[in-house]
């Protein structure tokens, strides 16, 4: 498809486990963003990748969160030792530089 | 400095009426102000956006009004329809930087 693709769409895991969330951006989009959407917190920025530049990690809530972008395309967000407060919808967006951000449908993460 | 404040949190409008959602920002460096529409289980979808060099932008039934001196912008939905029932987010950023979102408005259009 032509849009941002995220997988899995839903993930249920036990507290303390590690999870990996995947984002396939729109082809040709050099900018990629991760956001988190949780009840009462709205949409929060996590991390931003632009080309080969160092990522902007200023929104990552703790060192349990990390992300990488391989080959300037696919990105993986990893959460280690998950906690219940990590339960949220994780959204990925991509764009051409300076152009509107287009979002995927997110991964709904539930920590038991 | 980075906040975008959105109101109301929820809004009920009769079919055919005008829906109005307001946002205020603090950072005068922001130069792009989009509105996103989100349906349950879906990601936010760009609805309409404005830059601060214009005071109004209209696309179909959707209009953004922008007041640079007051640091406020609003979304107007004319002739509101039941299919417009969704959550709406205003946002702001500068250049290619992260979007700063408002808290969202849950809009319900009664038939």
pLDDT in tens, B46-79: 999 999 999 999 999 999 999 999 999 999 999 9
Would you place residue B91 in the very low, low, confident or very high pLDDT band (cuts 50, 70, 90)? very high
The pLDDT of residue A1 is 55
The pLDDT of residue A40 is 66
- Residue scoring higher pLDDT (B95 or A16): A16
* pLDDT averaged over every residue in chain B: 95
- Do residue A31 and residue B102 have CB atoms under 8 angstroms apart? no
For residues B58 and B77, what is the distance between their CA atoms, to the nearest angstrom? 10
Following DSSP, what letter does each residue of chain B receive, concatenated?
A: ---EEEE-SEEEEETTS-EEEEEEE--TT--BEEEEEE-TTS--EEEEEE-TT-SEEEETTEEEEEETTTTEEEEEESS--GGG-EEEEEEEBSTTS--EE---EEEEEE-
- Do residue A91 and residue B44 have CB atoms under 8 angstroms apart? yes
Examine the pLDDT at A8 and tell me if it is beyond 80: yes
Q: Is A20 on the interface with B (CB under 8 A)?
A: no
Question: Which run of H or E residues covers position A69?
Answer: strand A65-69
Mean pLDDT of the A73-86 span: 96
The pLDDT of residue A52 is 85
Q: Which two tokens stand for residue B16?
A: 């055919």
Examine the pLDDT at B39 and tell me if it is beyond 90: yes
Residue with tokens 């922001």: B30
Minimal Cα distance from B50: which residue of A? Answer: A100
CB-nearest to B49 from A48, A100, A103 is A100
- Do residue B43 and residue A50 have CB atoms under 8 angstroms apart? no
For residues B70 and B72, what is the distance between their CA atoms, to the nearest angstrom? 5
* pLDDT averaged over every residue in chain A: 94
What's the pLDDT tens digit per position in A27-66? 999 999 999 999 867 899 999 999 888 999 999 999 999 9
Cβ A70 vs Cβ A84: under 8 Å:
no
For residues A89 and A46, what is the distance between their CA atoms, to the nearest angstrom? 12
Q: Is B41 on the interface with A (CB under 8 A)?
A: yes
- Residue scoring higher pLDDT (B96 or B6): B6
Residue with tokens 């980075």: B2
């Amino acid at each position: 498809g032509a849009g941002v693709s995220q997988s899995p769409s839903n993930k249920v895991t036990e507290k303390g486990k590690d999870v990996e969330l995947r984002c396939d951006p729109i082809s040709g989009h050099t900018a990629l963003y991760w956001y988190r959407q949780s009840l009462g917190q709205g949409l929060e920025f996590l991390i931003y990748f632009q080309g080969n530049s160092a990522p902007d990690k200023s929104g990552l809530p703790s060192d349990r969160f990390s992300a990488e972008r391989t080959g300037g395309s696919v990105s993986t967000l990893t959460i280690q030792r998950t906690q219940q407060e990590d339960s949220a919808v994780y959204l990925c967006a991509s764009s051409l530089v300076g152009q509107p951000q287009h979002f995927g449908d997110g991964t709904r993460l539930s920590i038991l | 400095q980075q906040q975008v404040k959105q109101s109301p949190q929820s809004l009920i409008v009769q079919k055919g009426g005008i829906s109005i959602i307001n946002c205020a920002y603090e950072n005068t460096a922001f130069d792009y102000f989009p509105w996103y529409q989100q349906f349950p289980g879906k990601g936010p979808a760009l609805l309409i956006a404005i830059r601060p060099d214009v005071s109004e932008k209209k696309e179909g039934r959707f209009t953004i009004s922008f007041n640079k001196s007051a640091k406020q912008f609003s979304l107007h939905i004319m002739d509101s329809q039941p299919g417009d029932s969704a959550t709406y987010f205003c946002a702001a950023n500068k250049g290619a930087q992260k979007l700063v979102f408002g808290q969202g408005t849950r809009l319900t259009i009664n038939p």
